[in-house]
Amino acid sequence: MDLRQLTYFLGVAEELHFSRAAEKLFIVQPALSRQIQQLEEELGVLLFERDKRNVKLTPAGSYFRDEISRLRHQLTYITEQTKRIHSGVVGKIRMGHPGSALYSILPETLAMMYERFPDVNVQLTEIAEMELVEALKNYEIDVGFTREISVSQQFSTDLLFEEHFALVVPTDHWLNETNFQDISQCKEAEFILPKIDGDVNYGKILHGIFEEKGFEPKVVYHSNYGATILRLVEKKLGLSVLPISYRHGASSLGVRFLKLPTRTQLYLIWRSDDANAVLPHIREIAQEAVKKLALGEL
């Protein structure tokens, strides 16, 4: 028994006429009759009652028709789903992100993914910058947003956008857009900063902002989560330096962002050998989100 025989059987069961069925199935009638006979012999049952004028299904044939029709619809669905999974229209992807991505590219990327690929399950994990690459290595996530460029051939990256850092102060702080010159005006201030190793690129850039002006910040709190830092600044527990994209999600908070000349980059990163068919869609949509949000102008 094979799919071709079952197709022939359903054709005859629909027409209840061998000549018409043969014409629709593009097969000569003797060959069609032979295929049905072989199927009946293999099953050991009579599927059709036929004489010179009439063809009708036996009770066994009616049951066989109903079940084979159901299986054919199921097989069609399975085939279509297989193709959709192969093309990344259906699937799952685990995404890691630092807190800053919530204030820039992440919400728009997710919204566009859901609009275009509603059957893709995107699983989110907020991960501190230092832990994201390790999560990729350990297959805990499949793709991530990061500010650390990797030179390892194990990973591939797309540059998404570049943005300025900003000094973050409470809204009633004496520094504002008019009188702010550079961060050296804050030598005596207390700071709330991420606890990032100075050996990593983001840490070097962040520490370099202060080193360039010849002082080391007085850090009173450390946090690797931007939302926490913003709240602490709002409560006047210290100043901070964050990527300026944080201001998109801080309009309701009592903080002010003063642009600094130093810039940082955000990348999309994934394992180079990952064959997940959803990845190309994530990459394309992330770039579209950058353009839509004009993030390159930050």
144-155 confidence digits (pLDDT tens): 999 877 768 899
- 36 pLDDT exceeds 80? yes
- DSSP characters for 213-230? TT---EEEEE-S-HHHHH
| 83: amino acid identity, one letter | K
The two structure tokens encoding residue 47:
């599927």
Q: Which residue has the higher pLDDT, 216 or 128?
A: 216
CA–chain centroid gap for 254, Å, is 33
- Residue 26 C-beta-side C-alpha neighbours within 13 Å: 1
**In whole angstroms, what is the distance from residue 112 CA to residue 253 CA?**
27
In this structure, the number of other CB atoms found within 10 A of the CB of residue 273 comes to 9
Residues sharing a CB contact under 8 Å with residue 131, sequence separation 6 or more, in sequence order: none
**In whole angstroms, what is the distance from residue 266 CA to residue 256 CA?**
22
| 150: amino acid identity, one letter | S
99-112 confidence digits (pLDDT tens): 888 888 999 999 99
Q: Which residue has the higher pLDDT, 250 or 95?
A: 95
Nearest of 249, 240, 111 to residue 167 by alpha carbon: 240
* Domains, the chain, ordered by start: 3-87 (1.10.10.10), 91-297 (3.40.190.290)
pLDDT of residue 111: 95
161-200 confidence digits (pLDDT tens): 999 999 999 999 999 999 999 999 999 999 999 887 656 7
